[in-house]
Structure 1
Amino acid sequence: MTQLFALHSAYGLATAAAALDGDLLGARGERILMPFVSSTVPELSVGIAHDPALASLRARFDRIEGLDTVLGPLHPSSWQPEGAELPVLRRLLTRAWALEDDLEILVQSPQVAPARTLLSLFPHARITIIGDGLMTYSPMRVLLPHTVTARIGRVVHADVVPGVTPLVAAPTATPVPVPPALFAAALAETAAGLDDTAGLENRVHGEPSALVLGQYLSALGLVSDRDEIALQQRMIDRAVGYGAQHVVFKPHPAAPPRLADALRARAEAHGVAFHEYRGALAAELLAERIDAQAVIAGFSTALPTVRTLFGRTIDAVGADTVLARLSPYENSNRIPATIVDALTRPDSPFADPERLQLLVDAVGYAMQPVVAAHLRPRAEELLAGISASDRDRYFAPDRLAELRLPGAPRETVVRRALRPVGGIGRIEQLRLTAAGGRRRIGRAWRALRGR
């Protein structure tokens, strides 16, 4: 059997490597890594095929067949050939990559190209989903055809939220959690050849430090530039609250320099040292290098990962703001923000894994009521007993009303008029009915006049 790994992120590659180390992927056959670059401008990114820090992870595979070299100037996310082209492409790629008839395809994002194209290209291949952080805990964003979903057998994911099962490909796919120790070991390999933190380690050695992570939320349209600076300044305040004498800031790669300038000024106002790190080391490993007392961010995947793998204290700032502003409700960032918020809230009612699973299931259903229809009883169970403040924190009133879920706002005359019926709003339905009546009256009048 041939296993074809179509991966695009270091996190996904580390997950796959750890699963291989734990013998979690079944019988040994030829393993082919097919890396590709998913960033908007691939020319400005170092993909997993060429990143020197990932060399040892790539060595787990028998050979590497880069998808970028096949597609040429076409961006991988634009690879959506016509159905009539698939048989020809299948024969060409089977020959080019020397694939066996017994094939398993392991992908990170089955809803979008190029992964979705590969799944259609090889209609008899078995499918395994490789998790990519907290996004794996979200339901599918689209309703895939049965010819694809019936072949998804497993979801292999780093178990960074112990006790909580991902929703992607549920309920038919079997979750395969990668133990934290295996995943931590795979991540550690990516830091073996990186020595760009030596000076930083010397400056903070032996003194309390905290790591602050930037996510550049203004680029997502969630907050303004000014609001983002204010959120990150609150992170500095939190770091100081943990007793840090050094604050290490790892910004988002696209964040403007003025953001770091504002945070440096905030740290200096508190009388603590500020250090900016723009190196390649993963946030989880950077926290270990500086022995951070706390890791503070918005809703980064690194927060639950660093807590589960290394036992670090984590804190989140602005997750509630993100939850309130995410639009549409089914935005794929909602589940990651929900998990981080639930894990870091003071006296959180969802810190227990069973309660957190119930919350994830309920939010997942509200996000994708068709794809995750099996979760409706779970949503009703949670909403029947949740407090009003928590309900408003995680669920939009309009969404509850649309789905007729417990806690939905009382229906007013205006809301009833706007509520869709048969795919259109009631007001539009009345307008169309009136227009049809006018046309019928017109035809009758013309008939009476002999026209």
Structure 2
Amino acid sequence: MTQLFAVHSTYGLATAVAAIDEGLLGDAADRVLVPFVSARVPETVVGIGIDPSLESLRGRFDRVEDLGVLLGAQHPSDWQPSDADLPLLEKLLTRAWGIDPGDLELFVQSPQVAPARTLMSIFPRARLSIIGDGLMTYSPMRVALGRLVAARIGQVVYADVVPGVRPLVGSPFATPLPVPPSRFQQVLRETDSGAPVVDASGAALDDAVPTVLVLGQYLSALGLLSVREEAALHRDLVDRAMTWSPQRVVFKAHPAAPPLQSDAVRERVLSLGLEYAEYRGALPAEVLAERIDAVAVVAGFSTALPTVRATLGIPVGSAGTTRLLARLAPFENSNRVPLAIVDALTRDDVPAADPAHLQLLIDALGHAMQPEIAGHLRPRAELLLRTLAPSERDRYFAPERLSLLRLPGAPAERPVRRMLRSAGGVGRVEQWRLTALGARNRAARVWRVMRGR
């Protein structure tokens, strides 16, 4: 049997490798890594297929077949061939990669979009598995895959960084296959060359100074915040870091973020009388936190927060989650579940991080976000919303969404809105008009019959 892994991120690759090392994926005569670059401008990033720091991870596979080389100038995310071309592509890829399509297990990351979705359609006889993509794995599918594809998804392989909570992607048919956090962290450590960790000026960071690691996120690029609001958020992150009384703050900016982020963090750190350092190296945040012996890690809603919490036991904190939860649009935005998870894990006011409660919250959000795809979760949503305090309900659920789905906790409808509300595809007023028109037409027919016409 051949196992083919189509992944695009270090996190996804590390998840797959950790699952292999843990013996969760069984035996395979041939394991093929099919890496691709998902960035809109591929030339600006180093893909996982050639990144030197990932060489040992690539060594777990028998060979590497770069999808970008096969597609040439076409961006992998734009690879959406017509249905008529799929049989031909199956034959071409079977020959190019030397595989048996009848004895194939396909592992994909980000199954809702190309190229993963395309590969699942090209190989109609392959067994399918999903490789987790950090906290996004806990969100429901945002598009329906189609019965012929969805029925073949057997399992979801994911790093168990929120212990006790099952992911929603692939639900309800796919079997969750959690990778132990210790094994995942062990694989991430392989990306560390062991070279000294230094800041932007070349000064060593791996000393004994009590340090909080602050992670930047480029939320203004997603339209969630303005540039000025994002700068203010990063100052709030520094204030949150003060909870742990550090002597130094190390800032790891988002690779695509403008210098304004770093400026905001530096100014705030120095104003508080602390040491400031900026890390621009390639180490993942989870490895960097361990190398600098961070006393805590603070961010917006980065996947690194639950990961370092679960794998290293390092305390985590966040800032701005309440505002972002209220502003995130549309409601079905896939960032909502990751944001809610981080919010729950980093709150001090309520025990929202209890796994059973957190699972119920994620299930309810999943249904509210995708009521058709996650329709099986409606009883769970109703259970939570019937017992949730109004302040907690309003924190995570928009009243308009509850009204639209007629879920518990929805505000009472005004008479006029109730009259206009859709019923069976038309508004209530229109339904009454059509009913009256039908009754009038029936009465007219009866009258004509009685008159012999």
TM range (shorter): over 0.9
Summarize the alignment of residues 222-233 of structure 1 with structure 2, pairs less than 5 Å apart: 222-233=224-235
Distance 1:60 1:238 in 2: 40
Q: Tell me which amino acid in the other structure corresponds to 2:113.
A: V
Structure 1, 240-249 or 331-340: larger mean CA deviation: 240-249
Tell me the residue number matched to 2:404: 402
Tell me the residue number matched to 1:39: 39
Q: SS state of the match for residue 202, structure 1? A: coil
Q: Tell me which amino acid in the other structure corresponds to 2:209.
A: E
Q: SS state of the match for residue 39, structure 2? A: coil
- Residue 13, structure 1, aligned to residue 13, structure 2: yes
Distance 2:394 2:203 in 1: 43
Q: Tell me which amino acid in the other structure corresponds to 2:84.
A: A
Q: Is the 8 A contact 2:140 2:374 kept in 1?
A: yes
Q: Is the 8 A contact 1:204 1:246 kept in 2?
A: no
TM-fit CA distance, 1:320? 1.3
Distance 2:247 2:68 in 1: 45
Tell me the residue number matched to 1:254: 256
TM-fit CA distance, 1:210? 0.4
Count residues with an aligned counterpart: 436
Distance 2:9 2:83 in 1: 28
TM-fit CA distance, 1:195? 4.0
TM-fit CA distance, 1:267? 0.9
Tell me the residue number matched to 2:449: none
Distance 1:45 1:136 in 2: 23
Tell me the residue number matched to 1:189: 190
Tell me the residue number matched to 2:165: 164
Tell me the residue number matched to 2:375: 373
Q: SS state of the match for residue 93, structure 1? A: helix
Distance 1:255 1:417 in 2: 49
Tell me the residue number matched to 1:179: 180
Tell me the residue number matched to 1:150: 151
Q: SS state of the match for residue 39, structure 1? A: coil
Q: Is the 8 A contact 2:206 2:291 kept in 1?
A: no
Residue by residue over 1:345-368, the C-alpha shift from the partner in whole angstroms, topping out at 9 and shown as x without a partner, is 113332111111111111111111
Tell me the residue number matched to 1:67: 67
Q: Is the 8 A contact 2:17 2:187 kept in 1?
A: yes
Q: Is the 8 A contact 1:139 1:364 kept in 2?
A: yes
Q: Is the 8 A contact 2:4 2:106 kept in 1?
A: yes
Query: Residue 342 of structure 2: which of 340, 343, 360 is its match?
Result: 340
Residue by residue over 1:367-401, the C-alpha shift from the partner in whole angstroms, topping out at 9 and shown as x without a partner, is 11111111111001100100000000010111111
Q: Is the 8 A contact 2:3 2:28 kept in 1?
A: no
Tell me the residue number matched to 2:450: none
Q: Is the 8 A contact 1:53 1:194 kept in 2?
A: no
Q: Is the 8 A contact 2:232 2:264 kept in 1?
A: no
Structure 1, 198-207 or 410-419: larger mean CA deviation: 198-207
TM-fit CA distance, 1:413? 3.1
Tell me the residue number matched to 1:288: 290
Q: What is the TM-score when the length of structure 2 is the normalising length?
A: 0.92
Distance 2:192 2:171 in 1: 34
Distance 2:225 2:293 in 1: 31
Distance 2:338 2:398 in 1: 17
Tell me the residue number matched to 1:29: 29
Distance 2:378 2:389 in 1: 19
Unaligned runs of 5+ in 2: 442-453
Tell me the residue number matched to 2:246: 244
Q: Is the 8 A contact 1:383 1:407 kept in 2?
A: yes
Structure 1, 73-82 or 234-243: larger mean CA deviation: 234-243
TM-fit CA distance, 1:27? 2.2
Summarize the alignment of residues 408-447 of structure 1 with structure 2, pairs less than 5 Å apart: 408-416=410-418, 419-423=421-425, 429=430
Distance 1:406 1:285 in 2: 43
Q: Is the 8 A contact 1:159 1:177 kept in 2?
A: yes
Q: Tell me which amino acid in the other structure corresponds to 2:61.
A: F
Distance 1:366 1:252 in 2: 30
Change (3 A) 1:27 1:376: same
Q: Tell me which amino acid in the other structure corresponds to 1:396.
A: A
TM-fit CA distance, 1:243? 0.6
TM-fit CA distance, 1:105? 0.4
Summarize the alignment of residues 34-113 of structure 1 with structure 2, pairs less than 5 Å apart: 34-100=34-100, 101-113=102-114
Distance 2:202 2:375 in 1: 50
Change (3 A) 1:112 1:426: farther
Q: SS state of the match for residue 84, structure 2? A: helix
Q: Is the 8 A contact 2:159 2:178 kept in 1?
A: yes
TM-fit CA distance, 1:43? 1.1
Change (3 A) 1:258 1:418: farther
Distance 1:127 1:194 in 2: 39
Q: Tell me which amino acid in the other structure corresponds to 1:61.
A: F
Q: Is the 8 A contact 1:350 1:359 kept in 2?
A: no
Change (3 A) 1:99 1:293: same
Q: Tell me which amino acid in the other structure corresponds to 1:302.
A: A
Residue by residue over 1:265-305, the C-alpha shift from the partner in whole angstroms, topping out at 9 and shown as x without a partner, is 11111000111112111111111111111111011000000
Change (3 A) 1:418 1:235: farther
Structure 1, 340-349 or 61-70: larger mean CA deviation: 340-349
Q: Tell me which amino acid in the other structure corresponds to 2:43.
A: E
Distance 2:361 2:251 in 1: 31
TM-fit CA distance, 1:259? 2.0
Change (3 A) 1:21 1:204: closer
Q: Is the 8 A contact 2:197 2:206 kept in 1?
A: no
Q: Tell me which amino acid in the other structure corresponds to 2:132.
A: G
Q: Tell me which amino acid in the other structure corresponds to 1:186.
A: V
Q: Tell me which amino acid in the other structure corresponds to 1:132.
A: D
Query: Residue 392 of structure 1: which of 387, 394, 399 is its match?
Result: 394
Distance 1:173 1:338 in 2: 23
Q: Tell me which amino acid in the other structure corresponds to 1:401.
A: S
Tell me the residue number matched to 2:446: none
Distance 1:194 1:17 in 2: 23
Q: Tell me which amino acid in the other structure corresponds to 1:351.
A: A
Change (3 A) 1:418 1:350: farther
Tell me the residue number matched to 1:124: 125
Tell me the residue number matched to 1:446: none
Q: SS state of the match for residue 204, structure 2? A: helix
Residue by residue over 1:223-267, the C-alpha shift from the partner in whole angstroms, topping out at 9 and shown as x without a partner, is 111111111101111222321110111111111112211221111
